[in-house]
Structure 1
Amino acid sequence: MRKTVFAAAGMTATALFIALAPAAEAGQHGRTVRVQGAYGRGYVHDRHVNRQPGAVSVSRGTQTNSGYGVASQRAASWGDGAYSGSASRTFNNGASANRATSVVNNGDGTYSYNASRTGYDGDTRSVSGVVSRP
């Protein structure tokens, strides 16, 4: 039970931080880097960001010349007393993991939260509940 309260407090703090953070410039930007080394070694890395009022998403990927690679995505949205965030990572071999979090201000001094995580082994864990504002 104690774990749930601490997890909720952390999620609530994250949601409040994002809601109170200064507004960033809206728009999209990205970058791709290609590195070529000796003996055919090298990699390509890209990162793209899409930032809008009340939402942001980031995708990144790295692919080596030897066939190893990883892709990750993160997204968050907030507004009207709610926060929602997610993240995922997938490797070339098919292994993947993801997580999702949501927090809602119920308007009566309480917050509802829901968080889930799926690991590389496919095991999913989730927690949800309601906490009161101190």
Structure 2
Amino acid sequence: MKHFLTLATMGLALAGSLAATAAEAGQRSRNVSVQGANGHGYNRSRSVSRQPGATSVNRSIQTNSGRGVSSSRTASWGNGSYAGGATHTTNNGTSWGRSTSAVRNEDGSINATTTRTRPDGSTGTVTRSTQPY
């Protein structure tokens, strides 16, 4: 009986982890509108897409007075590499963000590069390398 309960518990744990994995993959979105007196208010949206080895998130907030910002974040990984970043853009066209790429080499070392773009259009790049222990 004890052996059966152990197997049943392991089966339930496996089923729960598979259900959690299936629930995490896919797309979700949400839109919220808040409106107040005298025309004050905003609209906010968010969409998320998750797949094995990749994810992306898009967000936006827009006020009734015409101000707002949109943001996009992406990431992908697999086979010892990673690429990701974020971009933010205001309604007046000002944009800034960052991007990162990293690769794990066969010897276990990692090479990574991050580039940031500032609202004034200037960029800065940082390159890092780590050695295996």
**TM class, shorter-length:** 0.7 to 0.9
> Any idea what SS the aligned residue of 1:39 has?
helix
* Paired position in structure 2 for 1:121: 120
Deviations 1:36-76 (A, max 9, x none): 10000011000000000000000000000000010000000
Shift of the alpha carbon at 1:93? 1.1
TM-score (norm 1): 0.80
TM-score (norm 2): 0.81
* Paired position in structure 2 for 1:99: 98
Amino acid at match of 1:133: P
Shift of the alpha carbon at 1:98? 1.2
* Paired position in structure 1 for 2:51: 52
How many pairs align? 113
Cα distance in structure 2, aligned partners of 1:91 and 1:68: 8
Q: Which contiguous aligned blocks of 4+ residues in structure 1 show a shift greater than 6 angstroms?
A: none
Shift of the alpha carbon at 1:117? 0.2
Amino acid at match of 1:31: R
Cα distance in structure 1, aligned partners of 2:96 and 2:132: 32
> Any idea what SS the aligned residue of 2:24 has?
coil
Equivalent residues in 2 for 1:1-134, closer than 5 Å: 25-134=24-133
* Paired position in structure 2 for 1:4: none
State the identity as a percent: 52
Shift of the alpha carbon at 1:128? 1.7
Amino acid at match of 1:61: S
Cα distance in structure 2, aligned partners of 1:68 and 1:103: 35
Amino acid at match of 1:125: G
The answer as to whether partners of 2:101 and 2:112 remain within 8 angstroms in 1 is yes
Indicate the RMSD between aligned Cα atoms, in angstroms: 1.4
Amino acid at match of 1:47: R
Unpaired runs of 5+ residues, structure 1, are: 1-21
Cα distance in structure 2, aligned partners of 1:130 and 1:88: 25
Shift of the alpha carbon at 1:129? 4.1
